[in-house]
Amino acid sequence: MKALKYKITIYESVLGYVHGQGLEITELAIPIDNEYIVMNYVSNKLNVFKSKVPRCKGVEVEVDINDTILKDLKKFISLETTLKEKVYNIICNIFGGKN
């Protein structure tokens, strides 16, 4: 499997954007089932999420991704989605709201 490796600039706020105080990071976007699993590591935090398209606007480089890692990432995304839904339902039950 091939993943796209690219750099993007992120900003913590609009003020940071206006003053050009962005942080350039490297992301990997792995195509899976008409979507991408996107990964980056920022401020000692691993971020993994689904996206319809890669977030790059510049040069992309293809890198090889091990099939075992790909399977594990699919499990991670599925588990994360399930856990978020369960936490949402718990919060709704406690505080009221949509369920």
- Enter the tokens of residue 76: 């991670």
Contact 99, 92 (CB under 8 A): yes
Residue 13 DSSP label:
S
Domain encompassing residue 57: 2-95
pLDDT at 66 over 80: yes
Max Cα separation, the chain? 47
Q: What is the mean pLDDT of residues 27-54?
A: 88
Q: Give 62's strand partners.
A: 4
Single out the residue of 93, 30, 40, 19 nearest to residue 67, CA to CA.
30
pLDDT at 14 over 90: yes
pLDDT for 91: 92
What is the separation of C-alpha 92 from the centre of its chain, rounded to a whole number of angstroms?
25
pLDDT for 98: 67
Q: What is the mean pLDDT of residues 15-32?
A: 91
* Residue range 74-92, pLDDT digits in tens: 888 889 889 999 999 999 9
Q: How many domains, the chain?
A: 1
Handedness of CA 47, 75, 55, 26 (dihedral sign): positive
